[in-house]
Amino acid sequence: MLMQTDAPRAPADPVARRRTFAIISHPDAGKTTLTEKLLLFGGAIQLAGEVKAKRNRVSTRSDWMGIEKERGISVVTSVMTFEYGDCVFNLLDTPGHEDFSEDTYRTLTAVDSAVMVIDAAKGIEARTRKLFEVCRLRDIPIVTFVNKLDRESRDPFDLLDEIEKTLALDVAPVTWPIGRGRSFAGTYDLLRRRVRRLDAADDAGTVPVSGLDDPLFDTLLPEAGDAATWREEAELAEGGCKPFDLDAFREGHLTPVFFGSALRNFGVRDLIDGLADVAPPPRGQDADTRAVAPTEPKMTGFVFKIQANMDPNHRDRIAFMRVCSGKLSRGMKAKLVRTGKPISLSAPQFFFAQDRAIADEAYAGDVVGIPNHGTLRIGDTLTEGEELVFRGVPSFAPELLRRIKLTDAMKAKKLREALQQMAEEGVVQLFLPQDGSSAIVGVVGALQLDVLKERLQAEYGLPIDYEPTRFTICRWIESEDQAELDKFVGSHGSSMASDLDGAPVFMATTGFSLKYEEERAPAIRFTDVKDYQ
């Protein structure tokens, strides 16, 4: 049971009905608006079922944070679970700001599909493309939503062509816009020959039509010549575009395309129905020892996100875990593989738009929040006893390195503890230099430095400043030959540090010096991405 509701239960197979996805887009394309509308569909069902579980009214976003308010961006990833039709959807929100791309990458390790939102006037933009590349690396199938059709837009063929060419992805339009901008009147379902009218109340029903000759199109496009032009266009779309192919989609080679307007809540129902129909249920996950199937009876999962201070009234820390197999039951004991110690899952939580509720049971594909006081870290694997570790939650070599300057030297120990915690949450990376000098923090984007500073002050009463370091680049180093590795570490003492896991990190002052060392030490691998351990 997902939630304690009186609503009729959906069909039995809990894994097959899960859809865990994220929305990828360039800022301003309409991700937030679309998220809200998707939740409306799920929200109605929740209200009808009256969730009985004790709920706290909290924000899923850390809007307590001054920084976020000031800059009007969301700096944290959140997850929203909702039911629609027979499906349970887990929508993982990804922060829009580029500085938080690391968080976004990690979130994408926990989804099975993604919705790519494109602004119909702008087409594929830089960040969409970057996020798409991450999805492609992980073979995540993409459903496309072309948004803002109610505004002046580019020609739909032109947009499809751009997706095909710039992303090397086949396109299969499922709906086709009837008019654009001021003349936008609805969409035509190319597969089922049905029209969804913009003027129909609440994105409700569709009207069947006999075909492209149907006189309804003349009514919807009354300007002289518009209907005729549209018919030619739609005929081309029907006959000329690739038909939808489930295998090609699931393998990440083809994207079904929906047109609509998130703001007008138009076309969103087709999108969510499409996700229910074709988006894949939870996938198997690779662990170090074997592949884990979602239908296995024993519970496994991995932590991809830690979030602190979700509720300003309770200083809590939530680890977001994707369940990979089995059933997670409230109160069960799991094994935290990194330490070998048991952890009691006494209050796992589901998150909704504004609320959270205790999760009595969760299945593969679900994302649950586990409250803890620093026991869990990003990348942690939980099992029912098996020694296995899920791979692929990445850590990226930071692009900015700073030393921390503490104004009150008495608080050095407290600072160490605080930095350790922030690093475990993934706010920053922490490097402890081998020569014993003060800690270096590394970030992918500058905004993370502001967040760290503000949180150290607000949560630990630690006023800090940053100082530049002579290092500009760092790389994890590995080698099959332990003696070579030891030799390198020994001879580069003043440029060596260790990360949170104690792994050796080489720090270079310039790209040139990094290259020089790489050439001189062929037995050593210098890497800029590392799996959490």
Binding site for ligand G4P (CB under 6 A): 25, 27-33, 96, 147-148, 150-151, 261-264
DSSP assignment letter at 99: G
Residues 414 and 459 sit within 8 Å (Cβ to Cβ):
no
DSSP 190-234: TTTTEEEETTSGGG---EE-SSTT-THHHHHS-STTHHHHHHHHH
Q: Cβ 260 to ligand G4P, closest distance in Å?
A: 7
Q: Cβ 82 to ligand G4P, closest distance in Å?
A: 18
Nearer to ligand G4P, 262 or 477 (CB): 262
Q: Cβ 35 to ligand G4P, closest distance in Å?
A: 8
Q: Cβ 3 to ligand G4P, closest distance in Å?
A: 27
> What is the radius of gyration, based on Cα positions, of the chain?
25
Q: Cβ 30 to ligand G4P, closest distance in Å?
A: 3
Residues 441 and 468 sit within 8 Å (Cβ to Cβ):
no
Nearer to ligand G4P, 29 or 310 (CB): 29
The CA distance from 402 to 469, in Å, is: 6
Nearer to ligand G4P, 25 or 144 (CB): 25
Nearer to ligand G4P, 30 or 294 (CB): 30
Q: Cβ 454 to ligand G4P, closest distance in Å?
A: 23
Q: Cβ 237 to ligand G4P, closest distance in Å?
A: 21
Nearer to ligand G4P, 125 or 273 (CB): 125
CA 428 to chain centroid = 18
The CA distance from 429 to 448, in Å, is: 10
Residues 469 and 403 sit within 8 Å (Cβ to Cβ):
yes
Query: CB neighbours of 389 closer than 8 A, spacing ≥ 6?
Result: 287, 288, 289, 337, 338, 381, 533
Nearer to ligand G4P, 32 or 479 (CB): 32
Nearer to ligand G4P, 34 or 418 (CB): 34
The CA distance from 377 to 170, in Å, is: 39
DSSP assignment letter at 386: -
What's phi and psi for 467, nearest 5 deg? -125, 145
Q: Cβ 110 to ligand G4P, closest distance in Å?
A: 20
The CA distance from 95 to 451, in Å, is: 14
Nearer to ligand G4P, 142 or 524 (CB): 142
- Local structure of 451: helix, strand or coil: helix
Q: Cβ 262 to ligand G4P, closest distance in Å?
A: 4
Which two tokens mark 156? 């739909």
Nearer to ligand G4P, 2 or 29 (CB): 29
Residues 56 and 82 sit within 8 Å (Cβ to Cβ):
no
- Please state at what angle helix 226-240 crosses helix 156-167, rounded to 10 degrees: 30
Which two tokens mark 41? 């569909």
